[in-house]
Chain A
Amino acid sequence: MSTTHRDDAFLAQLQQHKAILYKVANAYCSRREDRGDLIQEILIELWRAWPRFERGGAFAGWMQRIAINVAISFFRGESRRIRDALPIEDFGMDLAAADRVLDAEGDDLRALHQLIARLDDVNRALILLYLEGYSQDETAAMLGLSATNVATRIQRIKQKLQRDYAAAEDTP
């Protein structure tokens, strides 16, 4: 495959799964401008890692893994900022439109987002992958944990989310 075709293949795959960018950024950044920066950072890491992507592999899973890895590094403030990057608007990604989708979500989804924001970085990644529908084995492979550990952690997160939700409901 020529390099141009490879680049086009990357962009085509990216186009199909672009919501992952926003979802991960939204889970890890509360401020809109940070989300834009994080999306840029993820895009660049994806582009760099693309030559090592195994053809025939699942792009969404690969993208999700890298996006979460970048987000965690970014979240900890240890990733270098891109000084000479283009503004996020230049990607044509209207984050305000995406924000409106979130604004229109139901109470339960909003509560879920708020509760996810309180989890630590690894648990946040776990719950994101769970909600995206990845199996325990796939999640385990992505995060370098055992499947049993993933199951235990998800169970604990579910309980924690329910406890926190109940506490929030009880608070007048």
Chain B
Amino acid sequence: MNPLDLDQLKGKWSAQSRELDAQLTLDLDAVRRLQTARTRSALGWHRGGLLLQLLAGAAGIGVLALFALRHGGEWPYLLAALPLLGLLIVHFIVDARQWLAVKRIDYSAPVAQLRATLDTLLQRRLRLVRGVIYVSPLIWWLMVMVTLKGLWNIDLLDWMHPSVLPISALAGVGVIVIIELSSRAIARRFPDAPALRRFLDDLAGPTFQRASEHVESQLRFEREISEHGAQRALHARAQQLSEPLETARAGLQRRVSLGLWLASVLILCTGGFNALHGGDASALPPGVLLHVSAIVWLILSVRHRIALGSPSPDGGDVHRWGEHLRSAVRARRVVMQSYVVASPLLVVALVQVLSLAFAAIDLWQSLGLAVWLGLGAIVAIAITLLFLRWRERRDAFATSAVDALSLATLERSNRLADAAISADGEVPRARDAA
């Protein structure tokens, strides 16, 4: 019996490699054609999506122009329609330029040049989306006004208090400042955060999102190789949530989405209430308090929902994903705990709003100042006691109430994040395999 001598076989192995080299011929142009075919296919989908957007945009411009013509004599509606029309036209122009740019792409150009073109298009698209986000807080009331008037001939101006529009415009400016400051702070603190990147890609559209996710995955892979070696990169690339965790993730995602809808309904209801009671000093403060609380709830829910997104399309770093989820849960828990602390005030505000909305009873006037002062003192004491309790118990404070406020998603998400992080630790490493 001849033992298998690897050292001897090395020579034969090399000879076989040389023979293989001689037999195999590589059509280099075919490699180029492969890349081009893939890029062309991906961009074909993108161009189709842009075309649909262009058609929708053209229809929107036509409808708005018609609206402006028909209501030319009603200057508030004309003034409301013009900025919307301007925004739609700008959007249409950017889409049209992008469609033309994608159409004109020279697929025979070097790949690096193609990549640079796509990066430029992505940046242009992000600038537009950012612009729309910034303008939205200022124009959403105009959009509601024009939509109601155009579709159902409802004159919102007759229903709304005159103070609503200036107040919402001021609040819009405040929101823009907050968005700008917070986005700068986030970009400064987490310049390469994948969650932030995913969020921006979501804004840029699904076709860009797919492309960007792939690039992100490649970058992560290369980064893992340079920082931790190929073995770690291999495991990072191959990791995916196990089936039970994936099922739990999908279920939680649905539940958080339901919470998003509820928060949106609450925002619309409180917004409607505020619009109808704009000049009423006893209605507006509780209405605004509930409205802002609902908006913060929505923002935190959106972040939670993003964190619950799949680790990556082709398997990502589950450990990092778990940490992001844990961080989103922590932020949401802190805000929910602050709601519990402020619950006496929120309950009073809710009772006042519900009384006004459904029974037209103004509790502020009907109960009188003395009762309100007494109630105010009780609320202040209750809030102080709850706050002290919060400081004492920190994460363990009002866990059931906090979980209920999040539709039982916080604790489950935390457990999911823990499981994802610990599952990563169990992935067999080369050392263990040995």
Binding site for B on A (CB under 8 A): 2-4, 6-7, 11, 14-15, 18-19, 22-23, 40, 43-44, 47-49, 51-52, 65, 68-69, 72-73, 76, 78-80, 82, 84-86, 90-94, 97-98, 100-102, 105-106, 108-109, 111-112, 115, 120, 122, 127, 130-133, 141-145, 149, 152-153, 156, 158, 161-162, 165-166, 169-170
Contacts and interface: CB of A to CB of B under 8 A. Distances in A.
B26 A91 contact: yes
B1 A11 contact: no
B73 interface: no
A80 B314 contact: yes
A153 B231 CA distance: 15
Interface of B: 1-4, 6, 9-10, 12-14, 16-21, 23-28, 30-35, 37-38, 41, 110-113, 218, 221-222, 225, 228-234, 237-238, 240, 313-315, 430-431, 433-434
Contacts of B111: 3, 7, 47
A10 B360 CA distance: 76
Nearest to B313: A80
15 contacts: A7-B110, A19-B18, A44-B34, A44-B35, A65-B225, A73-B238, A82-B38, A90-B30, A91-B26, A92-B27, A94-B24, A130-B10, A142-B230, A143-B231, A165-B3
B219 to A, nearest CB: 9
A87 B171 CA distance: 59
A49 B17 CA distance: 24
Contacts of B38: 44, 82, 84-85
A56 B19 CA distance: 27
A92 B4 contact: no
Given A108-B4, A144-B232, A101 B16 contact: yes
Given A73-B234, A73-B237, A90-B33, A109 B24 contact: no
A109 B199 CA distance: 53
Contact of A162 (B3, B218, B232): B3
Contacts, number: 177
B31 A52 contact: no
B206 to A, nearest CB: 17
Contacts of B237: 69, 73, 78
